[in-house]
Structure 1
Amino acid sequence: MDRRKLLYSILKELQEGNEPKQTDYEITYEQWGEMAALIRDEGYAKGASVQYADNTVYFVALSSAKITMKGIEYLEQNSTLAKTYRGLKEVREWLKI
């Protein structure tokens, strides 16, 4: 899995006002939680919620997440990905490229 592409896709969907979900991607719930925590901790979005129990992800929500300026800058800095990204409908194939 290309984490840069995954991060780009999640941020792009947040920017578009969509709520990406773990089921949109071929990743485990643990990986989903790690990405949500990365987005929150790096300041790419506010309102991302990740909760743990015994170091295991048990709850992830991006329903209240809003992209920040830092997240927008990430999208702009990775404009080469924008040329090939087609949205959630084709995200699984795009991640494999």
Structure 2
Amino acid sequence: MDNFKVIYKILSVLEKSMDLEQCNPESISAETLRISQERWNKYIEMLSDAGYIKGVQIKKFVTGATSLDIRNISITLKGLEYLSENTIMQRMYKTAKGIAELVP
């Protein structure tokens, strides 16, 4: 799966979980997204570092291993803005693609 599709999926699930008391961590797990645990760890860490999500506790060990606690994960305003901008871009891309198919 494309990197940005996975990131978009994670943020979309977190946005939809805003109506719930807490996000179900299984809904954004590595297994659910069909990616490796290492890749998933890196996505969550990047999203947290970029300010798109909050409530993540990251522990790095001397061995190089990383442990993430996402029990309190949630999307931030910046994450909502990312989703909004990318939804608009996707619509524009689909429209442009449709126009290109009509024009000889």
TM range, smaller chain: 0.7 to 0.9
Where 1:51 maps in the other structure, the secondary structure is strand
Offset from partner CA, 1:10-43 (integer Å, 9 cap, x none): 0110111143111101211111100110111000
RMSD in angstroms over aligned alpha carbons? 1.6
Map 1:20-35 → 2, pairs under 5 A: 20-35=28-43
Q: Which has the higher contact order (CA 8 A, sep 6+)?
A: 1
| Identity of matched residues, % | 29
Where 1:23 maps in the other structure, the secondary structure is helix
Map 1:5-24 → 2, pairs under 5 A: 5-17=5-17, 18=23, 19=25, 20-24=28-32
Map 1:1-97 → 2, pairs under 5 A: 1-17=1-17, 18=23, 19=25, 20-53=28-61, 54-57=63-66, 59-79=67-87, 80=90
Unaligned 5+ runs, structure 1: 82-97
Unaligned 5+ runs, structure 2: 18-22, 92-104
Q: Bigger radius of gyration, 1 or 2?
A: 2
TM-score computed with the length of structure 1 as normaliser: 0.73
Where 2:45 maps in the other structure, the secondary structure is helix
Where 2:80 maps in the other structure, the secondary structure is helix
